[in-house]
Structure 1
Amino acid sequence: MSTSPQESVRRQNLGALLRYVHVRGATSRAELTVRLGLNRSTIGALTADLATAGLIDEGVPQETGRAGRPSIVVRPRSSRVYGYAISLELERLRAARIGLGGKVLDTRATERPPGAEPAPAVAALAALVADMRRSAPADGVDVGCGVAVSAAVRHHLGWSDAALEPALAAALDAPPPFIGGTADLAALAEHTRGAATGADNVIYLHGDAGISAGIIAGGRRITGYGGHGGEVGHMVVNPSGRLCGCGSRGCWETEIGERALLHLAGRPVPTPGAAMATAVQHAREGDPGAQAAVAHAADWLGFGVANLVNIFNPTVVVFGGTLRELYLAAPAQIHRRIESMALPACRDHVALHTPDLGDDAPLVGAAELAFESLLADPLSR
């Protein structure tokens, strides 16, 4: 049965309104009227439809101190409408239930089972989600699941999205999940509701066992073929440098990655994945080897960022994962390197930040993938 033009416009308006409230949070009807370019009666009819569907709540705002009748406020029903998000990392597995509006409602985490086969990790993730489902509201609306897969998992373990998707669908007893890269989804989250809100050109750099990037240009994610772009850790910056695990020499991650820091600092780290934080802490405590290692890595971090700034001309660069610690340890040194290498037309407006959403950024971004079908057509369920 075909949809009439009037009904098609109505559904588009419903989606636009719900998306606005999902991203901006509690919003007055008056603001929605202005931002969406619709009249008050239309806004009232749309919010009534969304409220009836259980997607939003409407109510009188708290005392504003202004004269006159206050505008009704529209809020996403975060506790009732939610998606599940999974973060598949080299050392650990994480899962969250995230409500409409980006609110993290529940989280679980466990170590990744050892071995190169994905089945034990998939089973562990399914157990985390099942545990959260038991505490979810009986009348809740589950919009689906999004998965953030670390580049280190793809490269070191060889787990493909094509294999993970059906395995997770079967284990979760749910439709196939939406899968993306950790850095890519963290960039989406920080762009939507974090450190890069309002910026249309963003680079999110994520450090773990390697270095990857999420790139947003003109307000759109650049994901590459098959969703596997942003492998900036294998950008060659020092052709005479150390041999990389990929077989090349002088890749960026051989200068700023955790293995590089361990090599330069000359000391082991007690916990896997903690090399950066440990080296930075030792440097702060005055250890000469750690100080030299951090200074070396910070200089090369600025070197690589300067190249990316020249190529993509972003307004915001966000340092996530282990790179957060490195940036915070030597921001002035990184800024100086960028100032000395990046073109003035590219560097003058760029702002460097750490993630507002912290470690939750990949999970929040994964949930955004799950919410997309609901936001595109809120009454299709």
Structure 2
Amino acid sequence: MSVRETLAGSPDVRRTNLAVLLRHLHLDGPMRRAELTDRLGLTRSTVADLVGELARLGAVEQLVADNRAGHTGRGRPSPVVRPCALGTQVLAGEVQVDQVEVALVGLGGTVLRRDRRPLPDRAPTTAAELVTTIATELAAKAPGRVLGLGVAVPGVTRDADGNVRFAPNLGWRDVTFGRLLESRMPGAHVQVVNDADAGALAEHLRGVARGCGDVVFVEGDVGIGSGVIIGGQPLVGAGGYAGELGHMVVVGREGQRCRCGSVGCWETEIGRQAVARALGLRADVPRNSLVEALHAIGPDGPRLLSQVARHLGSGLANVVNIFNPGLIVLGGLLREVYPLVSSEVRHSMFAGALAAPAEQVRLALPELGDDAVLFGAAETVWRRALIDPAGALAA
């Protein structure tokens, strides 16, 4: 027996190999066992054994072709291994200013069920009750084991315990949201995350930012949230509060008063209310109505949205100068605004950005659309399971 095979059989190395194999399937989808062997650099028998263990845990399934169509090699074709969405799921939620959405997401990123309901008021207990009510209903219909609940919120969130230090657009300050959820779902693993951090994570793992190590995700709606990936790793800061770019000041004293107490914050100049003002609509216009207005804007769009475009571009110049990203992803309402004013946004950005980092950046829309934040919330729970699949799935 070789040294490599001996190491592959040790408990720690085996746990790591199981984690790496399942992560490939979770993020990249079905593939032949021979390809997994190449990716992991292990022997065929070791990979077959690892796949067999994950199959016994209900995490994957193997499909053996009945014929050799498309198979040109010798012997039988390698079995296809795919993540079993019906065997293992997580719950993912997103709290917005006016609604709550929760989805049941299977291994591999398949959304099996989802439910979206209006948020009657913005009290933390109301949001927690609505999230857990929907989550409990979805869990009761789950076809397999449910590993936990990940919830994204539009606020400054502490990673360690899900404490929401500040969510101005919800009116929350120092809300123990993680505990509120856990008290309503005893024994469940609960993870609370900032919404833009979740969006950045999802687009980095599954969307337009795959393969890009330095990414900034800007989520625009009532407020502006931002998630940052540097060197392939989330930039969270000492307490998990990094990346609050919506509250950098881009306008002087003549700017709008922000809910955070400052004046001229970026989110007051490019958020939902700013877009509504530009179109001559009331500040509290529902998001769906605002999106419909943007779709029907016609040739006057660039003129009406020119101020929003300038402020969006000048803020992005700061992002480019500070983080030197290879990619900036514009999500939420900005996904609707940017295509209408892309030229002016880019002109304003390049006018304010340093030449060297500006040459390396490109702007993109999220590949996952409005589901980016929801998928990111799911990935915060999957991350725990993927570290030790056998331990998590056997529990």
Q: Distance in 2 between matches of 1:297 and 1:218?
A: 31
Match of 1:209, SS state, is coil
Shift in CA distance, 284/318, structure 1 to aligned 2, threshold 3 Å: same
Aligned partner of 2:247 in structure 1 is 234
- Asked whether the equivalents of residues 225 and 245 of structure 2 are also in contact (C-alpha less than 8 Å), the reply is yes
Which one of the candidate residues 227, 230, 233 is aligned to 1:214? 227
Aligned partner of 1:302 in structure 2 is 313
Q: CA RMSD in A?
A: 2.3
Residue 349 (structure 1) shift? 3.0
Shift in CA distance, 292/282, structure 1 to aligned 2, threshold 3 Å: farther
Q: Distance in 2 between matches of 1:279 and 1:151?
A: 27
Aligned partner of 1:347 in structure 2 is 358
Q: Distance in 2 between matches of 1:309 and 1:275?
A: 32
Q: Does 1:190 align with 2:203?
A: yes
- Asked whether the equivalents of residues 261 and 279 of structure 1 are also in contact (C-alpha less than 8 Å), the reply is no
Q: Which amino acid aligns with 1:371?
A: W
Query: TM-score when scaled to structure 2?
Result: 0.87
Q: Which moved more, 1:68-77 or 1:44-53?
A: 68-77
Residue 176 (structure 1) shift? 4.3
Q: Which moved more, 1:325-334 or 1:141-150?
A: 325-334
Shift in CA distance, 223/185, structure 1 to aligned 2, threshold 3 Å: same
Q: Distance in 1 between matches of 2:281 and 2:64?
A: 60
Q: Distance in 1 between matches of 2:378 and 2:355?
A: 37
Aligned partner of 1:75 in structure 2 is 82
Residue 252 (structure 1) shift? 1.4
Aligned partner of 2:329 in structure 1 is 318
**Ranges of 4+ aligned residues in structure 1 off by more than 6 Å:** none
Alignment of 1:325-336 (within 5 A): 325-336=336-347
Q: Distance in 2 between matches of 1:370 and 1:359?
A: 19
- Asked whether the equivalents of residues 199 and 315 of structure 1 are also in contact (C-alpha less than 8 Å), the reply is yes
Match of 1:206, SS state, is strand
Q: Distance in 2 between matches of 1:160 and 1:339?
A: 36
Query: Percent identical across equivalent pairs?
Result: 38
Residue 64 (structure 1) shift? 5.3
1:223-282 deviation line (CA, Å, top 9, x unaligned): 234322221111112224313222322221222122223334433267433575255345
Query: TM-score when scaled to structure 1?
Result: 0.90
Which one of the candidate residues 246, 263, 281 is aligned to 1:267? 281
1:197-234 deviation line (CA, Å, top 9, x unaligned): 11111110001111110100000001234322221111
- Asked whether the equivalents of residues 25 and 101 of structure 1 are also in contact (C-alpha less than 8 Å), the reply is yes
Q: Which amino acid aligns with 2:107?
A: L
Q: Which moved more, 1:332-341 or 1:209-218?
A: 332-341
Alignment of 1:24-103 (within 5 A): 24-60=28-64, 65-68=70-73, 69-103=76-110
Aligned partner of 2:170 in structure 1 is 157
Which one of the candidate residues 367, 371, 375 is aligned to 1:360? 371
Q: Which amino acid aligns with 1:335?
A: R
Q: Which ranges of structure 1 fall in alignment gaps of 5 or more residues?
A: none
Q: Which moved more, 1:22-31 or 1:329-338?
A: 329-338
Aligned partner of 1:117 in structure 2 is 123
Aligned residue pair count: 372
Residue 22 (structure 1) shift? 0.8
Q: Distance in 2 between matches of 1:173 and 1:292?
A: 53
Q: Distance in 2 between matches of 1:77 and 1:281?
A: 39
- Asked whether the equivalents of residues 27 and 75 of structure 1 are also in contact (C-alpha less than 8 Å), the reply is yes
Q: Does 1:126 align with 2:132?
A: yes
- Asked whether the equivalents of residues 264 and 292 of structure 1 are also in contact (C-alpha less than 8 Å), the reply is no
Match of 2:297, SS state, is helix
Q: Which moved more, 1:164-173 or 1:153-162?
A: 153-162
Q: Distance in 2 between matches of 1:158 and 1:64?
A: 60
